[in-house]
């Protein structure tokens, strides 16, 4: 399941690259790393690491997401190899923290350019861990009708400009380029329909039964402040991958909406994708 720019719809309509509408966050300055970081972790320290990798040209992303996913791990592995951390596994542990403490402005990036401007302070692992600031970001998705109670991953943009999807089949993904659930605008949530191995479904994904939702069904999102925002399903619609899906990503009524996206139809091995997209349109309960 792959999606492209909300500016052109999720199905590669038109030629506008999403990166044209997003500016990269400035690199972190004097960030403090106090714990080991690996796939699945999140927080302000993950964001600082991502900003460092973006500034160095290792992580091809528009902005930090504060979620340590597979792309961050791959980028970190490239940096580790470039500075002599072995094995270069993409896991941010004591060796990497020690090496990063020696990095100063002007260190060469992945392309050999002299433009890394991040400076980093590394302290012992016994210090308190950095906690992500509470900013109304979603934490859990609950859909009673489908017995779904899933955690959220923050997902951003892949190197090719398409939306990232969750790194596991069990989590929902909040696209950080969209509104936060409950805010005015449209919050975009993605999830896998299934795990495919050799063209065969081996495990159901978090959204395997999403097609069973109907107008009037309810769902809710718990955010990092402990607040629960409720939504009611307005419409369930299937899309051809080449269709104009502008309505999926935008709203003009000034309300708060949340749209769930997954795949459906027939699996196409050559494209590693399905023939259709399923979108559940929901509105916040006022």
Residue 56 near residue 113, CB atoms below 8 Å: no
Measure the CA–CA gap between 260 and 269, rounded to whole angstroms: 24
Which domains occur in the chain, in start order? 18-122 (1.10.101.10), 138-284 (2.40.260.10)
pLDDT at res. 44: 79
pLDDT at res. 133: 55
pLDDT at res. 106: 35
Q: Across the 286 residues of the chain, what is the mean pLDDT of every consecutive 10-residue run?
A: 38 26 35 78 82 81 77 86 84 84 47 34 34 74 94 83 82 91 94 77 86 96 92 93 82 93 82 83 92
Largest CA distance in the chain: 57
Measure the CA–CA gap between 237 and 283, rounded to whole angstroms: 15
pLDDT at res. 256: 95
Residue 162 near residue 261, CB atoms below 8 Å: no
pLDDT at res. 260: 96
Residue 44 near residue 57, CB atoms below 8 Å: no
Residue 123 Rama label (left phi>0; alpha psi -120 to 50; beta): beta
């Amino acid at each position: 399941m792959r999606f492209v720019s909300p500016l052109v719809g999720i199905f590669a309509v038109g030629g506008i690259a999403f990166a044209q509408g997003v500016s990269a966050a400035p690199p972190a300055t004097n960030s403090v790393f106090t714990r080991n970081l690996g796939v699945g972790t999140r927080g302000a320290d993950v964001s600082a690491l991502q900003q460092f990798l973006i500034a160095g040209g290792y992580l091809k992303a528009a902005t930090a997401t504060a979620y340590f996913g597979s792309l961050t791990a791959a980028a970190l592995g490239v940096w580790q190899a470039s500075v002599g951390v072995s094995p270069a596994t993409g896991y941010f542990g004591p060796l990497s923290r020690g090496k990063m403490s020696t990095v100063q402005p002007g260190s060469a990036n992945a392309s050999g350019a002299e433009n890394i401007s991040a400076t980093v302070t590394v302290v012992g692992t016994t210090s308190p861990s950095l906690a992500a600031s509470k900013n109304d970001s979603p934490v859990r998705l609950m859909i009673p009708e489908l017995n779904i109670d899933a955690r959220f991953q923050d997902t951003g943009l892949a190197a090719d400009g398409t939306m990232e999807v969750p790194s596991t089949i069990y989590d929902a993904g909040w696209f950080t380029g969209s509104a936060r659930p409950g805010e005015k605008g449209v919050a975009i949530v993605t999830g896998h329909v299934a795990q495919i191995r050799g063209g065969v479904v081996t495990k159901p994904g978090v959204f395997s039964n999403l097609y069973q939702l109907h107008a009037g069904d309810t769902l809710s999102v718990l955010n990092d402040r402990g607040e629960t925002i409720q939504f009611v399903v307005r419409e369930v619609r299937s899309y051809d991958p080449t269709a104009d899906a502008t309505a999926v990503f935008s709203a003009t009524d000034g309300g708060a909406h949340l749209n769930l996206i997954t795949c459906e139809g027939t699996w196409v091995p050559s494209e590693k994708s399905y023939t259709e997209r399923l979108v559940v349109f929901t509105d916040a309960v006022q």
